[in-house]
Structure 1
Amino acid sequence: MKSQASITALMSSFGRAFHTENEVHPVFVDPLAKELMTAEEYEAVQGYILNGAHFFEPDLNTSGLTDKEIVRLLVNKHIAPSPLCRAAYTESLLKNIAQTGISQYVILGAGMDTFAFREKEFVSGHRVYEVDHPLTQKDKQARIARAGWRTPENLTFVPDDFAKDRLSERLVTSGFDKRNETLFSWLGVTYYLSAEEIDKTLSEIADLSAEGSALVFDCPDEGFFSASEKRVQNTIMMAKAGGEPMQSAFSYAELEKLLGRHGFRIYDWLTPCNIQTRIIESAGANLKAFEHVNYCLAVRKN
């Protein structure tokens, strides 16, 4: 798969596409995810999952199962739960709190997110900023062009190398207004950053946040790296093998203290049990919330 998209981004996009096409009661519907992948990439990811069936599930008996049934089983257990549930939570949250005055939506580490192209009515009335590494963003824009999509007027791509650039400068230069309430989504990112990088990013988000602005993100808890659950350890191993090792995890108390230093207060905290009840079961989906992964909504209070 010759692409600037990371293996984790492609796996996430495949999970969205496959889940949408093959579930009667999907937890999250993304009819555009497949269009951002080439047919070669889609088949390659599917083949990777099939070939790794016994890595994911050593005791899996595949006799009598079709390839599609095997992939569905593995996607629903290992690939889909985190990216789909956090997307469902964030987009539902966004539509609700947009009614309270938030006029800007910033997607940090946007990857192959399709929100701005799926939710045209929302985007017509709100500014959306997709922030990502310049190479990743260049690749995504090439995919958008290949798919024949038209970029909405209110969507702005903001190239930002988090290791070198200042997020605040990049966003303001791109038209972001620090006086307006904003929702920042930071999904699937904190796992891969050091504690110092997370602290730096929170400082920059705080600098950009008018009072009442909100930040939603997912993060592993303090038991993540030592977890006994096989799929957790598989995820950690796959990330490392793909050149994107996971680095950080936080207890609630640690996160509350860290956010507090930057003027944020936790308003909603979803544990796997909450995610199972509020997101998966309410959708009637055939998933189990990923162990040791929590969702957080924090609000800026000056």
Structure 2
Amino acid sequence: MASSDLRPSSSSQGCTFLRALSQYERHPQLRNPDYLAPKFLSPAHQKLMLAARPWWAKAVLRKVSPGAYFYQISRIQFGDEALLQALEDGVSQVLIMGAGNDTRAFRFEREILKANARIIELDTPESQAWKTAKVEEHWGGLPGHVSYVPIDFNKTTLEEALLQNGASYDPEAKTLFFWEGVCYYLDADSVDKVLAFVREASPAGSSLVFDYFQKAALEGRTKPYGAQKVLKRGPERGEPFIYGIEENEIERFLGKRGLQLIRHMAPKDAARAYLCDEKGRLLGRQHAYLNLVKAVTSPKT
């Protein structure tokens, strides 16, 4: 089926549009590393990209979702660094949960094949149908090093999708898990089930990369840049933010779930690392309510 006959996820398209828009940036530091994002735009977003001037589009985005445009740059770079490090450390399996239009399987194909690693992408059947149609459209077929596993997150567990249905997931293989842009839409029980799977269905030393909503901002105890606007918009678009973690409790939170914190970046740290020029001058302001995390699974007792 052609991609024109399918409907992509609105949230996935929104993130893809932000990554594609940044390819017009003059300063290389502000160009999102996801240079393949334009290939995954829907026809409507392609028309918008062609019709809108970048400065105008960015001005609209600042009003609608302050800081989201620049946060996409930070999050992609954080994840890319984690992927390259994991491949160097001997990871042979990368599981992307809620993959959307993630392009790491293509942007890092050489490094993945050199490490003899595989990518497994988990997503809803509708989103995955869109993604694979676009892949076939632009690459002439599906890559051999990627497995696409459909899942209805509301009805199917990770165990059922990956361990019971003949999927290519190997619970004995050292794994890097990506869980970006997901956990703050889930309830506490669902979050714990995902983290339990990461802990129990992979060997010690496997890695997890994810981002989380600061609980203080979610509950209105603090008002960091961009939070109030996005908390209002979430329910309006049918995607309310419902789960947060206390910033100063992240290490303890992970430890209770069999994970060890390796890297934790607050918004100001991410901006300093990814949004400054060579002289340390800030080039863009990302929102200040999502934190980035890398953790590893602890030895099982």
- TM-score, normalization by structure 2: 0.85
- Which residue of 1 is the match for residue 36 of structure 2? 32
- Which residue of 2 is the match for residue 300 of structure 1? 297
Give ranges in structure 2 of 5+ residues lacking alignment. none
Question: Do residues 107 (structure 1) and 96 (structure 2) align?
Answer: yes
* Equivalent-residue separation in structure 1 for 2:267 and 2:82 (angstroms): 17
Q: Secondary structure at the match of 1:281?
A: coil
- TM-score, normalization by structure 1: 0.85
* Equivalent-residue separation in structure 2 for 1:93 and 1:149 (angstroms): 29
* Equivalent-residue separation in structure 1 for 2:228 and 2:6 (angstroms): 26
* Equivalent-residue separation in structure 2 for 1:143 and 1:39 (angstroms): 12
Report the aligned-residue RMSD. 2.5
> Which of 268, 284, 287 is 1:287 aligned to?
284
> Which of 259, 264, 269 is 2:254 aligned to?
259
Q: Is the 8 A contact 2:21 2:54 kept in 1?
A: no
Question: Do residues 88 (structure 1) and 92 (structure 2) align?
Answer: no
Q: What do the CA deviations read for 1:140-167 (whole angstroms, capped 9, x no partner)?
A: 2223233344322110011122222121
Q: Secondary structure at the match of 2:215?
A: coil
Q: 208-217 vs 225-234, which deviates more?
A: 225-234
Deviation at 1:2, TM superposition (A): 8.7
Question: Do residues 201 (structure 1) and 194 (structure 2) align?
Answer: yes
> Which of 103, 122, 128 is 1:131 aligned to?
122
Query: What one-letter code is carried by the residue in structure 2 that aligns with 1:219?
Result: Y
Q: Is the 8 A contact 2:198 2:297 kept in 1?
A: no
* Equivalent-residue separation in structure 2 for 1:214 and 1:245 (angstroms): 28
Query: What one-letter code is carried by the residue in structure 2 that aligns with 1:123?
Result: I
Give ranges in structure 1 of 5+ residues lacking alignment. 51-66
Q: What do the CA deviations read for 1:215-249 (whole angstroms, capped 9, x no partner)?
A: 01000112222243562222222322221111111
* Equivalent-residue separation in structure 2 for 1:282 and 1:197 (angstroms): 39
Q: Is the 8 A contact 2:184 2:242 kept in 1?
A: yes
Question: How many pairs align?
Answer: 284
- Which residue of 2 is the match for residue 11 of structure 1? 14
Q: 33-42 vs 188-197, which deviates more?
A: 33-42
Q: Secondary structure at the match of 1:220?
A: strand
Query: What one-letter code is carried by the residue in structure 2 that aligns with 1:8?
Result: S
Q: What do the CA deviations read for 1:240-288 (whole angstroms, capped 9, x no partner)?
A: 2221111111113544344223310111111112111122226777322
Q: What do the CA deviations read for 1:10-47 (whole angstroms, capped 9, x no partner)?
A: 11100000102334222532221111113323335888
* Aligned 1:1-302 pairs, distance under 5 A: 4-25=7-28, 26-44=30-48, 67-75=53-61, 77-124=66-113, 125-172=116-163, 173-225=166-218, 226=220, 227-229=222-224, 231-281=226-276, 286-302=283-299
* Equivalent-residue separation in structure 2 for 1:46 and 1:243 (angstroms): 28
Q: 120-129 vs 34-43, which deviates more?
A: 34-43
* Equivalent-residue separation in structure 1 for 2:50 and 2:225 (angstroms): 21
Q: Secondary structure at the match of 1:224?
A: helix
